[in-house]
Copies of this chain bind each other. A is one copy, B any other.
């Protein structure tokens, strides 16, 4: 087991990464504020891991809530189901929520913990590669709105994150690829050497070699933890974690949440960000080809949906959280391994990128 500390002052917390961690859950738990625990999970994960988790919570007043599986349920209505369960079961302010599942479960459970009685503790047990490398680090929680993804939420840090790599054995192939999109992202925005390592080990990663996955998770969490520690509330640097996400969110919003996986949309979105970075002269055309190749090798799409128009992209991108006074801001690459955020670019080049990365599909 590896332990990584996320340093955020009094909100610091450890991330445990390794095999067999669910079997030693009791030892990994921090001291809780009270005895009440609600485990929130979904219909896919519950039959696989819920019994094991409940067994690890022996001695506590633990119960579970099983939600339907899918991004389309990441809504205020589902959030309300968690509040109703907590209130029906008389959970007080000293309760602890446990998020057992992927990013959707983590985001919605984390937001429920942030808002229930104005804030209770929560623990993340991410069971997908995406959530292990991304959404359980950094304290971002929230739900979607029909008019925009992740538009409602809170910054709320978990007490601990427990990433058991064994849970990846039951992960569908598409979701493994979606997780690799974020792993590749960390290389692109912050660490060219890590990108090179990924290129050298992409076959092992796709084949779920445990050692390769463990290293990829560890290094991804490290990079994200560094960025988050430097900028907890997303004033500046942290925005670079959104490479490809503004494009990706537009794809997800236009297709209806749940059609494209988040990581798939980010895969295509990163190609768009690279393409625009090349058009602006920041990176060489070869960098676009390099990015496209590794993204494709991870089993991800390298262009947007064939039927999505430039106008649709621009409309959806106009509601992105990074925008200032309604101007579109994007994360682009200054070079491979170094990201920047800017609203200062030629809009016609953005249109060219969107056109190029759609008609190529």
Binding site for B on A (CB under 8 A): 34-36, 61, 76, 79-80, 83-84, 87-88, 90, 92-94, 114-119, 140, 142, 145, 147-148, 151-155, 233-234, 318-319, 321-326
Determine the chain B residues whose CB is within 8 A of the CB of A325 once the complex forms: 34-36, 61, 92, 94
Determine the chain B residues whose CB is within 8 A of the CB of A36 once the complex forms: 325-326
Partner of A90, one of B35, B145, B154, B319: B319
Minimum CB–CB distance for A312 against chain B, Å: 16
**Contact call B323/A93, Cβ cutoff below 8 A:** yes
Who on chain B is nearest to A35 by CB?
A: B325
Determine the chain B residues whose CB is within 8 A of the CB of A324 once the complex forms: 34, 92-94
Which residue, of A117, A119, A233, has the highest number of chain B Cβ atoms within 10 A?
A: A117
**Contact call A318/B90, Cβ cutoff below 8 A:** yes
Who on chain B is nearest to A117 by CB?
A: B321
Determine the chain B residues whose CB is within 8 A of the CB of A115 once the complex forms: 115, 142, 152-154
**Contact call B84/A147, Cβ cutoff below 8 A:** yes
**Which 10 pairs of residues, A with B, have the shortest CB-CB distance?**
A87-B147, A92-B323, A117-B321, A118-B153, A34-B325, A115-B152, A93-B321, A90-B326, A94-B324, A87-B148
Who on chain B is nearest to A327 by CB?
A: B92
Query: With A76-B76, A115-B154 given, can you name 20 additional A-B contacts, CB distance below 8 Å?
Result: A34-B325, A35-B325, A76-B79, A83-B152, A87-B145, A87-B147, A87-B319, A88-B147, A90-B326, A93-B321, A115-B142, A116-B152, A117-B153, A117-B321, A118-B140, A118-B142, A118-B153, A118-B155, A118-B321, A154-B154
